[in-house]
Structure 1
Amino acid sequence: MGNADYVYPSNVECSHRVAIPPPQPFVKSLKYSLKETFFPDDPLRQFKNQPPSRKVILGLQYFLPFLEWAPRYTLEFLKADLIAGITIASLAIPQGISYAKLANLPPILGLYSSFVPPLVYALMGSSRDLAVGTVAVASLLTGAMLGEEVNALENPKLYLHLAFTATFFAGVFQACLGFLRLGFIVDFLSHATIVGFMAGAATVVCLQQLKGILGLDHFTHGTDLVSVMRSAFSQTHQWRWESGVLGCCFLFFLISTRYFSQRRPKFFWISAMAPLTSVILGSLLVYLTHAEKHGVQVIGELKKGLNPPSFGDLVFVSPYLTVAIKTGIITGVIALAEGIAVGRSFAMFKNYHIDGNKEMIAFGMMNIVGSCTSCYLTTGPFSRSAVNYNAGCKTAVSNIVMAMTVMLTLLFLTPLFHYTPLVVLSAIIISAMLGLIDYAAAIHLWKVDKFDFVVCMSAFIGVVFGSVQMGLVIAIALSLLRVLLFIARPRTVVLKNIPNSMIYRNVEQYPNTNNVPGILILEIDAPIYFANSSYLRERIARWIDEEEDRIKSTGETSLQYVILDMGAVGNIDTSGISMMEEVKKTADRRGLKLVLANPGSEVMKKLNKSKFIDSIGQEWIYLTVGEAVGACNYMLQTYKPNPKKNEAERWNTV
């Protein structure tokens, strides 16, 4: 016998014994862990057994994906991409101008940002459907964060230079995440966080458009609901009914066309063309009626010509360097989360794969290049990408077509936007933002997971009543808190027998299960680490106390065995091993036998190195809970406890 207090069931028939994996060198184990963390897709596998020339070609294709699909490009693809590119350009031009105003930047920057970055992405991006451009949330964040340090009206030149600098640091941060294979950081923005944050940001953006809809000259720089409402209603004497009527009419037109396109997907182009149609109609209306002389504000002169270089405008000196870096990192993370999520969604529809790390590198490079060519932050907006997808795009050439269309606009058509009313741009922004308020997703969260709903609403309330940054911080903090709770307070459940089977399941899920006399079966539902080892030790002790109290009240067979189902325990650290040793000591003091079922290879490896297996006996470790219960039942039938002995000597043979 391996233990003086117990007779081991060496003659119990078991199909298999749990094997102890052979020891592995620490360097090999560390290498495997790092590979699974940073290179789960094994990007180097395609280079194996390849001649040097082929490796060079594959390396170029990895960083420039267009080299992979360009040789297979056909005329049919070109026709589809031409239609898609022109269609998204009709949406990109008015949206670009609108979002630049949202960021308190010159409207022409919106067109600049729809020219150079799409060309870079077409060469480096791995998504066929993503349409690159500026987005409302990142524009709002840029305006809010930079506006805290520099007033865009009082010092427009410095503000503009800081916007370029923030874009540069956003690009550097995004590219570094891609090169260092740190894309998993973006995964900390949970679905609930994004739903709440986007809805809150969309609400704030809509509220900010009251300035354009009401025709106000001065408006608060705050983004919270209270500041916006106070600013709007404290200037009721300056409201311009002409601007309000015009804004409501165009907003109704935009919402109606979107509703029609949603009901009739074949007519998606109607909704896509609606913003540009609104700009054209609004400009004609103002030009013919001279409405700019009656309170309707217009864009004014737009500079003709392509993007001027802006590398010399980047600000790398204090005291503004800190705010530029902070703005770049925060907006860069939000842009990455949105762009990668959108790209993966459409890739799933067409059944192809996009590499998240490649996308980060592509986003980073297009923003670095953009910051040097008078562009501000760009990513893959959902609205533009959806139009690109519905228009039947085949490759990233649709981005090139869009960029060329914007280039022609910059060279020849910018004077036509002189009479474009700002209220039309506000209507375009509001119409686009309403689609980001996903109330159906919030209702779904409430039905499925109340904690996720709390995270979602916290992000929404934080953005609407505090600030965009506050809402983001609150949401991320709550999401991380939940992760910590999962780790620090893992579930342990009691398993019982499903009648007429050798299957053991959670009694909460299967209330008709039967007790196993004399045996307590517990399932640990998470890896055992320093963060949860103390809790698990105390919780297992409480399960034992509760089971013994139940047995005393019912008069059943006294508790003799505690089986721990460790199938879900993927790993264990030294604190966890210490916890297991303490649980065994607790069981020994109570005259109970600790039995393990289904421990994984990593767990067995560490339990063996720590000599815990020697102390418990390998014959008390089983592949399944059924085998462990069978062995314990055999012992209960063959041997019985002697109540006259103390607990350390309870077991005697019959």
Structure 2
Amino acid sequence: MGNADLVYPSSMNVECAHQVAIPPPVPFFKSFASNLKETFFPDDPLRPFKNQPLSKKLILGLQYFFPILEWGPRYTLQFFKADLISGITIASLAIPQGISYAKLANLPPILGLYSSFIPPLVYAMMGSSRDLAVGTVAVASLLTASMLGNEVNASENPKLYLHLAFTATFFAGVLQAALGFLRLGFIVDFLSHSTIVGFMAGAATVVILQQLKGILGLEHFTRGTDLVSVMRSIFSQTHEWRWESGVLGCVFLFFLMVTKYFSKKRPKFFWVSAMAPLTSVILGSILVYLTHAEKHGVQVIGDLKKGLNPISVTDLAFGSKYLMTAIKTGLITGIIALAEGIAVGRSFAMFKNYHIDGNKEMIAFGMMNIAGSCTSCYLTTGPFSRSAVNFNAGCKTAVSNIVMAIAVMITLLFLTPLFHYTPLVVLSSIIIAAMLGLIDYDAAIHLFQVDKFDFIVCMAAYVGVVFGSVEIGLVLAVALSMLRVLLFVARPRTFVLGNIPNSMIYRNVNQYPNAMSVPGVLILQIDAPIYFANSSYLRERISRWINEEEEKLKSQGEMMSLQYVILDMGAVGSIDTSGISMFEEVKKNIDRRGLTLVLANPGSEVMKKLDKSKFIDDIGQEWIYLTVGEAVGACNFKLHTGKPGHATAELEAKDNIV
């Protein structure tokens, strides 16, 4: 990189080099307990309970599990006015969506209304989000239909299918509550952003394809969810297509898309888009009733049972031979519902600058789904579309969920006969309009521009869902994400550092082309913890760096050969015994070459392990420095004076370093 003068600050003495401290020994069990606490209790939930009388601890405990007891006493009439408007608005969306998604799950439509009554009441008491609106979601409905439908035909054995759906919901709730109680919420974080983007887009595409059955008025349809099966089923029944149904579906889909576009352009009129699904149901029902379209190929919902949720605890199919299918369905749908609900809740909490507790949310989701499985509900979470309407309507607290539940209760008690003539094609149009919003083209383009591997993960999830199945797409995306993590751990990056002119700063020479190499010194930065999985690779990589540096100096005809190898350990947060063995082998290799190994900026955990393994005695503490600058200064002093270690003389201001 050419000759240049490296200028040290005049106050920089080599004798100023500070000795790296070895942390005091900590008993193993104390250290282990500290690590466990940081993993499972990073928010220190017991802190408010310390130094409190028993009665206060009891109150705080109840408020932890039932946040409504905390904010309820401060509730005001102004809050209620805002929550009343929000609750009525989301109820107008919840009723048609609930019926639509229940049909998507191959369940009786009335279950969509049941699922919008009990679970929101439970969440209002136990949830920590002010904006989340609880209800059924398309992706979980599709997963339920796909996974249970592979074992039991909903048309041939509807009672068993229904009981398995309740059982799957129960196990989803148990999983969610267990993750919250055991504080294992970090497991959900393994679903990366790119995985969720691709999976949701793929699931939305599959849902849209499934709705072609309703749009075209087909009575028989494939049980497969992949693109090939759906297309084959559609085009093999061209003689069964109903033009009346197709025209009606396209008209209502156009109406829904126009209202959504209008509300997006004019945010003040958010209620136009929110009311559009219920308006479509009303207009569609009136049209069918007046024209008797049900006699001309337009399928309708039919009779909906009046009354509140019947108890279904005795319907849980614990003794069924399909129990494992229900458990698997519950676990997968439960994880997906958690990821969506918590992500949505955190998004809106960020807008309003308040915090939601992920573990509390898991407990709330779990308890509402356990309660739901016992009261004729299937899986619920916090859907984005409904929560966005709740947020835009100006909700203040979770009371908006209570208002929505009361509106649904009134519908169940008095208004269900009005849905008799609701055409299925309108429900299909509502689902398609909602699903188009889940295909996030901008997010996929952003992934492609920023990180190609994340884009590949996203597309793998999408292609897997669309051309395989929902399960295949999810497994493929998670596997690729885990592979990336393993590759990062097993093949950590190492960099050659150079000096930024007129400073004591050392940076990657590839990132900073003006960074200058130091004659006789090779500075390497290790960018990850050192474990058994990467220790062999790092040993070989350091040897290659040394070989390449020596060959470069020889080819350039440099007068000064390589004398020192400095390892910047700033990014090495921890090390295991395999890593220590790697250092010992590197030290032996460097000694054989006649070079000196120098360590810079090792952390406390690393120093503790190196001290216990006696490696510090082997390398000599005089060759361990706080900073790369101090290490370079000591090496440079040794090269100029022949004296080792922490020198006592001041370096000249200019050393003519290459």
Normalising by the residue count of structure 1, what TM-score does the alignment of the two structures yield?
0.96
1:570 aligns with 573
Correspondence list, 1:288-303, <5 A = 288-303=290-305
- Alpha-carbon deviation of 1:465? 0.2
**2:634 is the counterpart of 1:631:** yes
Instruction: Write the distance in 2 (CA, Å) between the matches of 1:208 and 1:189.
Output: 25
TM-superposition CA deviations, 1:5-34 (whole Å, max 9, x none): xxxxxx941342110000000011001100
How far, CA to CA, are the matches of 1:55 and 1:617 in structure 2?
A: 54
Mapping of residues 195-274 of structure 1, within 5 Å = 195-274=197-276
Match 1:60 to one of 59, 62, 74 = 62
Residue aligning to 1:282: 284
| 2:614 matches 1:587 | no
Which residue does 1:305 correspond to in 2? 307
- The answer for the alignment partner of 2:6 in structure 1 is none
* 1:429-468 equivalences in 2 (<5 Å): 429-468=431-470
Write out aligned runs for 1:333-352 (5 A).
333-352=335-354
Range that drifts further, 568-577 or 313-322:
313-322
Counterpart residue number, 2:8: none
- Give the Cα separation in 2 of the matches to 1:559 and 1:39: 49
Cα contact 2:14–2:630 (8 A) shared by 1: no
Distance of 2:65 and 2:622 partners within structure 1: 54
**In 1, Cα distance between equivalents of 2:418 and 2:340:** 32
Give the aligned partner of residue 646 of structure 1: none
Secondary structure of the structure 1 residue equivalent to 2:566: strand
- Deviation of 1:49 (Å): 1.2
Displacement of 1:295 after TM fit? 0.5
Q: After the TM superposition, which residues 16-55 of structure 1 pair with which residues of structure 2 at under 5 Å, given as runs?
A: 16-55=18-57
Task: Give the CA deviation at 1:155.
Answer: 0.2
Query: Counterpart of 1:104?
Result: 106
Residues in 1 aligned to 2:87 and 2:550: alpha-carbon distance in whole angstroms: 72
Partner SS for 1:562: strand
State the SS of the aligned residue for 2:219: coil
Letter in 2 for 1:357: N
The structure 2 residue matched to 1:599, chosen from 595, 599, 602, is: 602
Aligned twin of 1:477: 479
CA distance in 2, matches of 1:14, 1:485: 40
Residue 70 (structure 1) aligns with: 72
Identical residues among aligned pairs (%): 85
Aligned residue for 2:16, secondary structure, equals coil
Counterpart for residue 417 of structure 1: 419
SS at match of 2:15: coil
The answer to whether the Cα contact below 8 Å between 2:17 and 2:625 also exists between their aligned partners in 1 is no
Residue type of the partner of 1:514? M
3-state SS in 1 of match to 2:565 = strand
| Alignment-mate amino acid for residue 572 of structure 1 | I
Q: Give the Å deviation of 1:228.
A: 0.3
> What is the rounded CA distance, in whole Å, between the counterparts of 1:620 and 1:602 in structure 2?
18
Amino acid at match of 2:599: L
User: Which deviations, in whole Å up to 9, do the C-alpha atoms of 1:71-113 show, x marking residues without a partner?
Assistant: 1000000000000000000000000000000000000000000
Q: Specify the alignment match of 2:10 in structure 1.
A: none
Indicate yes or no: 2:125 matched with 1:128: no
Q: Which residue of 2 aligns with 1:80?
A: 82
Q: Is contact 2:259-2:272 (8 Å) kept?
A: yes
Write out aligned runs for 1:402-413 (5 A). Answer: 402-413=404-415
Aligned counterparts of 1:219 and 1:474: Cα–Cα separation in 2? 27
**Shift of residue 500, structure 1, vs aligned partner:** 1.2
Shift of 1:167: 0.1
- State how 1:379-390 maps to structure 2 within 5 Å: 379-390=381-392
Structure 1 residues not aligned, in runs of 5+: 1-10, 642-654
CA distance in 2 between partners of 1:344 and 1:585 (Å): 52
The reply on whether 1:506 has 2:508 as its aligned counterpart is yes
Partner of residue 656, structure 2: none
Shift of 1:51: 1.2
Residue 547 of structure 1 corresponds to which residue in structure 2? 549
Report the 3-state secondary structure (helix = DSSP H, G, I; strand = E; otherwise coil) of the residue aligned with 1:493.
Answer: strand
* Paired residue secondary structure (2:425): helix
- Cα offset, 1:501, TM superposition: 1.0
In structure 1, how many angstroms separate the alpha carbons of the residues matched to 2:263 and 2:17? Answer: 63
How far apart in 2 are the matches of 1:238 and 1:388? 41
- 1:398 corresponds in structure 2 to 400
Q: Give 1:319 deviation, angstroms.
A: 1.7
Kept in 1, the 8 Å contact 2:301–2:420? The answer is: yes
Letter in 1 for 2:621: Q
Q: Which residue matches 1:328?
A: 330
Unpaired stretches in structure 2, ≥5 consecutive residues? 1-12, 645-658
- 1:534 is matched with which residue: 521, 530, 536? 536
Q: Provide the residue aligned with 2:649 in structure 1.
A: none
> Over residues 405-427 of structure 1, what are the superposed CA-to-partner deviations in whole Å (9 max), with x where a residue is unaligned?
00000000000000000000000
Give the number of equivalent residue pairs.
Answer: 631
Match among 170, 173, 198 for residue 171 of structure 1: 173
Q: State the match for 2:144 in structure 1.
A: 142
Q: Distance in 2 between matches of 1:45 and 1:586?
A: 51
Equivalent residue number for residue 615 of structure 2: 612
Moved more, 560-569 or 13-22: 13-22
Rounded to whole Å, the distance in 1 between the matches of 2:68 and 2:540 is 58
- Tell whether the 8 Å contact from 2:598 to 2:631 is kept in structure 1 after alignment: yes
Report the 3-state secondary structure (helix = DSSP H, G, I; strand = E; otherwise coil) of the residue aligned with 2:531. coil
Give the aligned partner of residue 644 of structure 1: none
| Paired letter, 1:135 | V
Structure-2 separation of matches of 1:83 and 1:420: 26
* 1:7 aligned partner: none
The CA deviation string for residues 553-596 of structure 1, in whole angstroms up to 9 with x for no partner, is 01221000000000000000000000011110110010110000
- C-alpha distance in 2, partners of 1:640/1:412? 95
Asked if 1:621 corresponds to 2:624, the answer is yes
Q: Secondary structure at the match of 1:494?
A: strand
Tell me, in whole angstroms, the C-alpha distance in 1 between the residues paired with 2:311 and 2:320.
Answer: 23
**DSSP 3-state at the match of 1:523:** strand
Superposition RMSD on alpha carbons, in Å? 0.9
1:318 to partner: Cα distance: 4.3
Q: Name the residue aligned to 1:518.
A: 520
**How many angstroms does 1:518 deviate by?**
0.3
